[in-house]
Structure formats: structure tokens, C-alpha cells
Amino acid sequence: MSVNLQTPIDYLKGVGPNRADLLRSDLGIQTYQDLLNLFPNRYIDRTRYYKINELQRNNAEVQIIGKITGFREVAQKRGKRLVADFRDDTGMMELVWFRGQKWIRDNLKTGQTYVIFGKANWFSGKFNMPHPEIELQSEHESNLRSAMQAIYPSTEKLSNKGVTNKVVTNIMQQLFLETKGRFVETLPDSVMAELKLISKPEALFNIHFPKTPELLARAQFRLKFEELFYIQLQLIIKNLIHKSKIKGFTFDKVGDYFNTFYKDHLPFELTNAQKRVLKEIRHDLGSNAQMNRLLQGDVGSGKTIVAFMSMLMGLDNGYQCCLIAPTAILSVQHYQGLSDLCKPLGISVSLLQGSTKASERRIIHENLENGNLQILIGTHALLEDKVKFKNLGLAIIDEQHRFGVKQRSKLWHKNTLPPNVLVMTATPIPRTLAMSVYGDLDISVIDELPAGRKPIKTVHRFDNNRLKVFKFMKDEIALGRQIYIVYPLIQENETMDYKDLMDGYESVSREFPMPDYQISIVHGKMKPADKDYEMQRFVKGETQIMVATTVIEVGVNVPNASVMIIESAERFGLSQLHQLRGRVGRGAEQSYCILMTSHKLSQDSKTRLETMVRSSDGFEIAEVDLKLRGPGDLMGTQQSGVLNLRIADIVKDKDILEQSRYYAKNILKIDPSLASPEHSAILHTYKQMSKYRNIWNYIS
Ligand code: ADP
Ligand code: MG
């Protein structure tokens, strides 16, 4: 009889109610299956024995052969600790116990040869090992099972309550005994053969009890592949269902608006990337499935014109369109820019913000509902239920990461059919990551900047060089340029950060006095109207310097601004620095980015600053960011943390991810319902997974 892997962990011999509770609370292990899927963090070579004089201060766990030469008790604040001197032929160290001291005194003897195992700490001139695993050398030799010992994830509570790595290893062994290691294969023969994968039972055995390093590597590969394969499978199936079930508005024709604009009013030649992306969007809009597309393009790559031309496709088919921006400043700027483009075409366009007056608002609502208004631009205000369209055919969201999934879904309820959706982001998410995080979105990338842009010169300067920086600013202003100075504003540190901002503003005001110089200041505590006013003064060129917090981060376009100074640059994340830098370099002039820091820099900060100075490639910067911070933190991809991977790592295993996606796609192409007998293992696993771990709930 085979053991059901859904059996509660309490039933496993050696677990018992207390340990079962601990395993549940601290590791989330409820069933045999969960225990089996508790994959080790790392492995220790148990054929390697260290000498005491070989120990390094930052060693991981080591094992050492030696003898205890004496015990003593040492009084401490609460209770006492038991210390043993432990020697080999190269030196002496201490073993320390804070608990279970009686058992140790009763069972361990001086003069016997023991093998100890644990982490050695360096403390007042010698090494000590608290609570070592310890066995007689003779027992140790007869026990040695696997040359590589698995080290499992653990918590302080677990080790305090005696659920050590050894205990976990023992119950894992018990699980293999009870189940006889008979686990069901989950991948089809064809994939196994093509990729020369080891079987599921063999992989599970070797991940927990590796026979050789080679088998361990193959076990890891196979299990990572499997994990990613099933995630991709779920995402692709979801996407297919979406495309077949969710009908959208079809924009059959390319009409006068689009053609006239393209022929007569396009202000510049489109880049090849812009043309390609427009084709992709056109293809989606021309089909009867609802479009759900992510448009990625580095800052300044020209996403706005693509958005506008997509809206023209909607208007040509008689639909209304809207563009939602994350901040008031940005929506105003979009409104101004797009109004200019709309004018010669006779297109009606309005702006709706939180601050829009009631009388104006009434007119907008009316014209939206009767269809006179063709394009609506605005902030979140546009998502409110009382904003109703006659026939919203396309919704464009700028700077996706500022919007939650919830807000995106709000759009869907504005119509009988959901509008086509285009989300635009300047946060370059590496493609593989985007695939697994935004699995339900199709992705377009503008990977080319408009011709003739000069790369921005980026330098790192320490605070004590500030006078030189001021001098440089004066020279640039004398040339007619404008300058941003940005201060960090972190929520937890808000009060201090505002003080820094104000101090900075004051010192800049002293250095750049009126009437020769005019300075704008913009921060989050100002009223929206004041913010807009200050912003507008800068946009119009009435002020030469803009002192701001990160509110200017997204989208703002002032081509005459050629210098970006970032204060306390070490406190910004890489993608944020890159976004900020993207505010300059939009005109014909050479632009500069100056990263100001103090001398105290962490290693990560140094890496960030060096990366900024070296590279202007958003994708390269995103890759470094990902390595420094891990996918969970990457701006706009918080969902990736929810993927909750057991063994694979989206960043490190991106090759396996791509491979798994390729196989999942091909299998679904030939057998979309997984009905063929060859795919029965997949179908079975897939159903099983959907039952216990429903990916649909947390990715959308
Ligand atoms: P982003 O992708 O950051 O939103 P924008 O759409 O604001 O970038 O474009 C940045 C600037 O580049 C704008 O001033 C825009 O008019 C200009 N631009 C866009 N596409 C082109 C192009 N193909 N050739 C020249 N300039 C362009
Ligand atoms: Mg933009």
C-alpha cells in the first residue's frame, strides 16, 4: 500500500504532537508532502574533517575529531553555562552548553574520541562551538550515510526547542522509509528523455540524501525545472483562457485619425522599436480578444507617442480612450502634450483630476456619457465609479508600478466588455522575470532611444566637493540650462528628510540669490495647486533650479533641464536613480547627472553608484538591481515574492525558467487540454496543484 502524501505530519513516526505543532507553525509543514518539499538550503561535505588550527572566523558548520579534556561551569547573568575544553593534535577550543547540561555531564566522558559538528565562533581569542552535534567516533563511522549532509531551513525557535537539523534529517529518513521512496512521476517521458532528467523519486532522494555531487546537481536541476514548468504552465493556460473567453472590442480599421496624423502631423520619424511595438498593439486591437499588454521602455524612449497613436486606432473605430497617470503633475503634462497633438486633428480631450472643480467636472461627466468627449486624461480620479464612459475602448496606464492590481481591475467594470488595456512602465524588468510575474500580460519592449540623444555624463561626488558643484551649476545656468536637485524622502524618516530638504533649499537659496536666480521647490507636503504652480514655473523656464523630493521621479519632461543632482544618492535604489537621471538628457544639449554622497558608503551603495556611473542601459541596471535586492524588492514586482518558490530562483535560474517556458508552451500548443495519454502525468499534477496551491488567486 502506498502512503498518501496528504497524511498529516503528526502521523510520521518520530514527530509527535509537539514537534508537529512546531513544524506547522515555523516551517508551514502540514503533510508528508510538505516535509518532502522542504528542500535543503545547502549541503555540508561530511567527508571533510577540520583541524582546530584550520578554523576560520567565518566558517560555516565544520566537523572536528578530538577529545574533551575537562568540564567547568561558568556563572552568567541567568543561570550558568557548561564549558568543555576540546582538543585535537593542533590546538584547543571550547564547547558550550546553555541547556541540557545534566545530560551532557552524565553522558559525555573525558578521554574519549568524539566527532563534533557545528558552527565555530571566535570569542576572546579562541574558538567555541555552542551546542555541537556530538557522537563517539566509532558511532559516527557506522552512522555515516551520505557524504553530503543536507542543511534544512530552520528558525531560532525550532533549534531552541530541540528540532535540530539532525532531528529534521531523521524524520526525513523516516518519511523515505514509510513511503519506500515511491513517488509519482510528474513529467512526461518525452521531456525526461530530451532533457535527460532523473526520475522524480531519484531526484527527491538525492536532494535530501545526495549520493554524489553530480547526482545532487541533477536532482536540483530536475526539481527546479519541474517547479518552474508548472508555474509557466499555469500562467500560459490562464493567458489562453483569457484570450479565448474574454472578448474585447475589436478595432477593425485603421482610419483617418491615424492616417492623417501619421502622414501630416507626426513631429518626428518613429524609431524602429516604436514602429514594431505599434504593430504589436495594432495586432492585439484588431483581434476580438481583449488586449492586456505591458509596454516597457526606458525613460525617454518615447512611449507617449505610441500611447497616443494607439488611442487614434480606438477613435478611428468610434471608441473613447483614456490615459491614467500616477501623479497630478504628470497628468497635466500629458494633457498639455497630447492637446497639442489633438488640436490639428479636431479631437476633443479633457483633463480630470482630484482638484477639478465641480462645475468643470459636471461638463466632463456629461460629455463622457454622451460620447462627445473622445479622450480623457487624468489621475486615479478617473477610476472613481461615478466616472462613466459611453464606450471606453482603450485604457492606457502610464507608469504601471504606481498602480495596484486592484486599480487595474477597476477599469474592467466601466463597460459591458472590458476595455483594451495598455500599461506602460519605464521600470525595465528583465524579460524573464516579467514573464513569470506578469504572466497574464503580453509584453512589448521599446529597446531603442530616439536618434541623436547624447549619453548623460554621470559622476559621483562627495559632499565636500559641493563648492565645485555649485560653480558647475552656475556655469550651466549661464548657458541657459536648468537644474534639478533631488532629495530622498523615505517614509520612516520623513521628519529628518524634510529637514534635509529645507536645509538644502536654504543653502541653495543663499548660493543662488534672487533676483539673478529663481528657484522652485516641490515636495509632497505642498498643496497640489502650489505644486503645480511651482512645477509650471520650472517648465516655463521662469526658474532655473528645481529643488524637489522624488515627486518628480516619474515622467516629467523639461527638455531644457540638463543637470540632475541627486543628494544622498546612496539612499536611493538603483532603479530610482536611473528614473531620476532620465529626467535630463531630453534636449539637444549635453546633460549631466551628479550623485552626491557622504564618505560613509556600504558595499551595496558603492556598487549602485559605480553601476550608475558606468552604465546608462536600463536593462543592465535592472539586472544589477535584481542581484543586489532580489526579485521580491524590485519596484513594481512585489508579486514575485508571492510566487513562493521552493527551490528555483527566478534570477539565478533564469535559463531554466526559459527552458521550462519553452516546453510548457510547446506542450500546450500540441495538446491544449492535456488530454493525450502521454500528458496524463502533467494533467494529474496540474489538477493536484490547482487544488492545493492556486496560482490564479495571486497573479493577475
Ligand atoms: P517616455 O518613454 O519616458 O515616456 P516620452 O514619450 O516622454 O518618453 O518621450 C521623450 C521625448 O522624446 C519627448 O520629448 C518626445 O517628444 C521625444 N521623442 C519620442 N519619440 C521620438 C522619436 N522617434 N524621435 C525623436 N524624438 C522622440
Ligand atoms: Mg512617460
- 237-269, pLDDT tens digit by residue? 877 776 776 777 888 888 999 999 999 999 999
450 lines ligand 1 (CB under 6 A): yes
Whether residue 586 has its Cβ less than 6 Å from ligand 1: yes
Find the mean pLDDT for residues 288-301. 85
**Res. 641: pLDDT tops 50:** no
**Across 8-35, average pLDDT:** 92
Domain covering 47-144, topology: OB fold (Dihydrolipoamide Acetyltransferase, E2P) (2.40.50)
Question: What predicted TM-score, i.e. pTM, was given to this entire model?
Answer: 0.62
Tell me the mean pLDDT in the region 158-178. Answer: 90
Q: Does the pLDDT value for residue 637 go beyond 60?
A: no
pLDDT of residue 380: 83
Of 355-359, 442-446, 553-557, the least confident:
553-557
Provide the grid cell at 188: 512526461
Residue 135 has pLDDT above 60, yes or no: yes
DSSP for 426-474, please give it.
-S---HHHHHHHSTTSEEEEE--PPTTPPPPEEEEEEGGGHHHHHHHHH
Burial grade of 2 (CB within 10 A; 0-12, 13-18, 19 or more):
exposed
Candidates 296, 556, 557: which one to mutate for ligand 1, based on the most atoms within 8 Å of Cβ? 557
**What pLDDT score does 462 carry?**
95
Residue 652 has pLDDT above 80, yes or no: no
For residue 410, pLDDT over 80 is answered with: no
* Least confident piece of the model among 335-339, 410-414, 418-422, 654-658: 410-414
Q: Report the topology of domain 457-615.
A: Rossmann fold (3.40.50)
Is there an atom of ligand 1 within 6 Å of 271 CB? yes
Q: Kindly state if the Cβ of 301 falls inside 6 Å of ligand 1.
A: yes
Least reliable range by pLDDT among 391-405, 462-476, 523-537 = 391-405
What's the gap in Å between 190 CA and the centre of ligand 2?
46
Predicted confidence at residue 653, as pLDDT, reads 83
Q: What is the DSSP string of 687-700?
A: HHHHHHS-HHHH--
Confidence grade of residue 156 (pLDDT, cut at 50, 70, 90): confident
In this predicted structure, what is the pLDDT of residue 633? 44
- Return the domain boundaries, the chain: 47-144, 256-286+302-425, 457-615
pLDDT tens per residue across span 664-695: 989 998 998 899 999 999 998 888 776 654 43
Nearest ligand 1 atom to the CA of 452 is 25
Q: Please write down the HEC assignment for all residues of 569-588.
A: HHHCCHHHHHHHHCCCCCCC
Q: What is the pLDDT of residue 431?
A: 62
Q: CB 297: neighbour CB atoms within 10 A?
A: 25
* Phi, then psi, of 379 in degrees rounded to 5: -100, -160
pLDDT grade for 642, boundaries at 50, 70 and 90: very low
The enclosing H or E element of 259 equals helix 256-260
What's the pLDDT at 368?
95
Give me the CATH topology for the region 256-286+302-425. Rossmann fold (3.40.50)
Q: pLDDT band for 404, please (50, 70, 90 cuts).
A: low
Residue the block writes with cell 555531487:
213
Q: Quick check: CB of 304 below 6 Å from ligand 1?
A: yes
Assess contact for 612 and 668: CB atoms under 8 A: no
Domain 457-615 in the same topology as domain 256-286+302-425: yes
Indicate if the pLDDT at residue 77 is higher than 90.
no
Question: What is residue 95's predicted lDDT score, i.e. its pLDDT?
Answer: 96
Which one, of 305, 200, 326, 188, lies nearest residue 682 by Cα? 188
| Residue 89 predicted with pLDDT over 90 | yes
Q: In angstroms, rounded to a whole number, what is the distance separating the alpha carbons of residues 643 and 445? A: 24
375 strand-pairing partners: 321, 349
Average pLDDT, the chain: 86
Q: Can you say how many angstroms the Cα of residue 610 is from the centroid of all Cα atoms in its chain? A: 21
Which residues are registered as beta bridge partners of 421?
292, 395
Residues 512-533 have a mean pLDDT of 88
Query: Length of the chain in residues, anyone?
Result: 700
